[in-house]
Structure 1
Amino acid sequence: MNIETKFLGEVEITQEEIITFEFGLPGFPELQKFVILSLDADLPLAVLQSTEEAQIGFVVAYPFIFKKDYVFDISDEDKEDLQIENEEDVLAYSIVTLKESFAESTLNLLAPILVNTNKKLGKQIVLQDNAAYPLRFPIGSLEGSAK
């Protein structure tokens, strides 16, 4: 099937690629079907694109590329919501706020998006230890970050 996207125009996807966010995303509770689309094979960025609303798409990244020591626990409730049987089946993404200069862009480390790749279920969680990671973590200014 083809969908219209915010950043990539019309894109062909399969039903198997669709990830269900039972609770939607904060600010978009009515949107439950998303797909992750690569932007470029050489970039550690992708788009979390709604399949229901073309103008709803978020640039995301694997946070571990930019913050090597990024770790957090998944609550029992979130494990249940995502039907996690094996933690290796879970991918974490962070929403990127892009700036004109990429080095000034930020990652949301406080509220990662978790995807159970086997069950095709997703959920954005808010980490309980709010002081551990910021809402706006600078991408390009820190040692060891991908530039």
Structure 2
Amino acid sequence: MTRKFGEIDIDEKKILFMPEGLPGFPGFERFVLLEDPKSAPFCWLQSMEEPNLALVMMSPFIFMPDYEIDLEGFIASRGWKGIEKKDLLVYVVVNISKGEDGRKITSNLIGPIIINSKNNEAIQVIVSNSSYSYQHNVLEQP
């Protein structure tokens, strides 16, 4: 059962394991990535343990094609053998709120979530690029 999608069947092979959980949400390690074509480019990282825990996410490359993250270094640090950059999915958590002049959409470029599509392991990492923000305005691109 999910708050946004109601009752849904999840293929066990699609369940993501986050061994380190998510900062601020201790104890939750099993998630699924839910996509709805009507909501593209947004998707949801839905907790399998808590129906009310779902984070809106999107690929940072949609609004920032030159977004930089050291995926090779990340692969090495995780000890993932046989994994290449193309096997990883990169998402950023998005906050959608009402601003003074309409909708405001911000993203956390400092803490992307990396998903290994080969073993369904996911982790939120910290990017050391000091020009990135945890409240990057998606709608105001240079």
- Length-normalised TM-score, structure 2: 0.88
2:20 aligned to which of 15, 19, 23: 23
Structure 1 residues 79 and 46, CA gap change in structure 2 (3 angstroms):
farther
Would you say 1:135 and 2:127 are equivalent positions?
A: no
Shift of 1:20: 0.2
Q: Distance in 2 between matches of 1:34 and 1:79?
A: 24
Structure 1 residues 128 and 78, CA gap change in structure 2 (3 angstroms):
farther
Within 5 Å, give how 1:107-126 maps onto structure 2.
107-126=107-126
Would you say 1:35 and 2:25 are equivalent positions?
A: no
Letter in 1 for 2:118: N
1:87 aligned to which of 85, 88, 104: 85
Moved over 6 A (4+): none
Would you say 1:12 and 2:9 are equivalent positions?
A: yes
1:100 aligned to which of 95, 98, 101: 98
Structure 1 residues 82 and 60, CA gap change in structure 2 (3 angstroms):
farther
Specify the SS of the correspondent of 2:62.
helix
Q: What count of residue pairs does the alignment treat as equivalent?
A: 139
Unaligned runs of 5+ in 2: none
Q: Distance in 2 between matches of 1:41 and 1:86?
A: 31
Structure 1 residues 16 and 31, CA gap change in structure 2 (3 angstroms):
same
Unaligned runs of 5+ in 1: none
Letter in 2 for 1:90: L
Letter in 2 for 1:55: N
Identical residues among aligned pairs (%)? 29
- Length-normalised TM-score, structure 1: 0.85
Q: Distance in 2 between matches of 1:119 and 1:28?
A: 22
Q: Distance in 2 between matches of 1:136 and 1:26?
A: 16
